């Protein structure tokens, strides 16, 4: 953390909070976090990337942390989020960047690469494979698949109810989510068909894991206590509008060099198996698909050494 600097940066009409390491003017690597996270999910990657000669930057994305954002769902359509990333690249003085994204940040990185390949030197996706646009709106596809059973993305479509659940005890909510989707907690993760909330299926860890110590968790808790969960949840609520925009622009393929890394125990990989199979057919230059044993959803925190090693090898290959 001693290598990491923090500051604010104006881009696309927003006042972004960013953390960075390395020298401005060096090749830019932009790291995009997911839910329910902030820039700090890249705390193990920024110094390593800087030591390899890159200007490594991780923002609190729109709706999150010290950046915050509007309360309107429409402000979180994919086109707005993509414009944020392009504007950040420009504000950081670069023509293009290597994008590394995890979870929602991964989905966003794929979309920036799809819509603006001239801005993307290469793209690395963690945990969320790219299979191209689905044939029907995401929430419709999810309702067809899960029917009356509980599914968290459909639950997140409800106004205020998810916020009330997650904000009742922010520390407990985050502790449960981080643990239950990790390799250590996945055995305890079980969703009942009649679940009425997202936390019902999640148990807190018996002891803090080495990759999410109490002091690490406190950093996330302070951010969500400040902003609440509405901005973060609006990324889910804007899914169908984002899907319509993607279908309308007609672009499907990803052209820049790409790498995909995920944990084999990640439930997202189980859910997105078809996208994982289609991904090589949707990309012009997918260098490698790496599935890491005994890791869950938070791979860059659960196994930073392994992830940094694969990132370094990919960047060297460019």
Catalytic residues: 103, 297
Structure tokens at 130: 């790219």
Cα–Cα nearest to 23, from 56, 69, 45: 56
Centre a 10 Å sphere on the Cβ of residue 220 and count the other Cβ atoms it contains: 22
3-state secondary structure of 256: coil
Distance CA 289, CA 250 (A): 26
Tokens of 288: 């490698």
What span, in angstroms and rounded, lies between the C-alpha atoms of 289 and 125? Answer: 10
* CA nearest to 212, candidates 66, 67, 44, 45: 44
- DSSP β-ladder status, 55-59 and 97-102: unpaired
Query: Which residue, among 301, 315, 138, has the nearest Cα to 212 in the 3D structure?
Result: 301
Report the C-alpha gap between 41 and 129 in whole angstroms: 19
For the record, the structure tokens of 264 come out as: 């084999």
- Residue 282 to residue 302: CA distance in whole angstroms: 29
Phi, psi for 60 (deg, rounded to 5):
-75, 115
């Amino acid at each position: 953390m001693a290598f990491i600097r923090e500051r604010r940066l104006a881009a696309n009409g927003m006042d972004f909070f960013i953390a960075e390491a390395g020298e401005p003017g060096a090749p830019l690597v932009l790291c995009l976090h997911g839910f329910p996270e902030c820039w700090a999910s890249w705390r193990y990657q920024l110094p390593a990337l800087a030591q390899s000669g890159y200007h490594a930057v991780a923002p609190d994305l729109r709706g999150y942390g010290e950046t915050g954002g509007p309360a309107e769902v429409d402000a979180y359509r994919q086109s707005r989020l993509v414009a944020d990333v392009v504007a950040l690249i420009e504000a950081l003085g670069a023509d293009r960047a290597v994008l590394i994204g995890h979870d929602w940040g991964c989905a966003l990185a794929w979309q920036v690469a799809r819509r603006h390949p001239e801005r993307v030197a290469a793209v690395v996706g963690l945990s969320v494979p790219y299979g191209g646009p689905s044939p029907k709106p995401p929430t419709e596809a999810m309702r067809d698949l899960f029917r009356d059973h509980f599914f968290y993305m459909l639950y997140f479509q409800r106004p205020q109810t998810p916020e009330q659940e997650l904000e009742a005890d922010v520390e407990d909510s985050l502790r449960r989510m981080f643990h239950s989707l990790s390799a250590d907690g996945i055995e305890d993760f079980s969703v009942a068909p009649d679940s009425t909330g997202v936390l019902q299926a999640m148990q807190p860890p018996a002891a803090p894991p080495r990759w999410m110590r109490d002091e690490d968790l406190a950093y996330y808790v302070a951010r969500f206590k400040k902003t609440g969960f509405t901005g973060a949840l609006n990324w889910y609520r804007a899914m169908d509008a984002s899907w319509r925009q993607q279908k309308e622009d007609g672009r499907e393929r990803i052209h820049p060099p790409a790498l995909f890394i995920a944990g084999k125990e990640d439930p997202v990989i189980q859910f997105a198996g078809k996208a994982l199979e289609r991904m090589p057919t949707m990309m012009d230059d997918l260098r490698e698909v790496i599935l890491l044993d005994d890791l869950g959803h938070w791979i860059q925190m659960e196994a930073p050494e392994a992830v940094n090693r694969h990132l370094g090898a990919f960047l060297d290959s460019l």
